[in-house]
Homo-oligomer: A and B are copies of this chain.
């Protein structure tokens, strides 16, 4: 529709050569200030914008990050990932990087998607999330040399300190530590915990924060730990049963879903004001007036982009500088 403006058009207009125009845009320090201005003026005048396919073909880099959009899990927790992706997009834009989405249903599916994207030169790096024990993905990525950063610590076999494995994560233990401390100070000594069955890295991490805080002060009998697979309904049922048996002062939860279920159970039993702290700070707990631990996905995204781009702001297929291979974001407790 619109006539294409090429670098040659700009060059002609400014009375210089192709390469000089290119230099003005990519390496301004090598051109004389006066020519730079003349070229920039021509760029503005013609509304020139480089054709990125041509640039990518020549430079052999796409300046694009692949992000998997997880299948809709049906849980409240999806909101965190959405905020993360959004923040990632904004942050990437500031670095002149693009974000390309892809869909995959299984790890194997995701790997074959990477294979296409990588060989087609569509992405320079990918962001992965939800790594688990025995995850085949990290091995593939390391083996093929596709740079990546994972949202979530590598709980699996490979070394958590491996400088080739970049990761960012939220310090779950610090979050529940803050939540538990606050509950102890404002509600009473009997602060219970509602989490998931042992075995999930994230869940264990969050439980640890509670245990470390509660441990020194009270015996475990008065501060029970409950676990449920997931889901508001299940949590509501379990907490309803347990509240009838145990007397507690407050409850710290591993997720907002659990917190909502617990709140409903408490309300059922005529205790709508039982202090309950969630994790993720989703709109629902905000509306219910529950406290929650805010993950700060924006900071996580910023850290991810910082890790994956080298000092020059470009994505490099390199092992990161030792000691700078990961970032652990301390979440913030929102008190309501």
Interface residues of A (CB under 8 A from B): 1-2, 5, 47-54, 56-57, 62, 67, 69-72, 74-76, 78-79, 82-83, 85-86, 89-90, 93, 98-103, 115-116, 118-122, 144-146, 231-233, 236, 257, 260-261, 264, 267, 283-284, 286-288, 317
What would 30 A/B residue contacts be, using CB atoms closer than 8 Å? Answer: A1-B144, A1-B146, A1-B317, A2-B145, A49-B116, A49-B120, A51-B120, A51-B121, A53-B57, A53-B62, A53-B121, A54-B57, A69-B85, A72-B79, A72-B83, A74-B286, A76-B284, A79-B79, A86-B103, A89-B101, A89-B102, A90-B103, A98-B100, A98-B101, A100-B100, A236-B287, A260-B287, A261-B287, A267-B267, A284-B284
Copy number in the complex reads: 2
Query: Which residues does chain B contribute within 8 Å of A260, judged by CB atoms?
Result: 284, 287
Shortest CB-to-CB span from A146 to chain B, Å, is 8
Shortest CB-to-CB span from A315 to chain B, Å, is 13
A52 touches B103 (CB 8 A): no
Tell me, in angstroms, the Cα distance from A85 to B67 when the chains sit together.
13
Tell me, in angstroms, the Cα distance from A283 to B256 when the chains sit together.
12
Query: Which residues does chain B contribute within 8 Å of A71, judged by CB atoms?
Result: 86
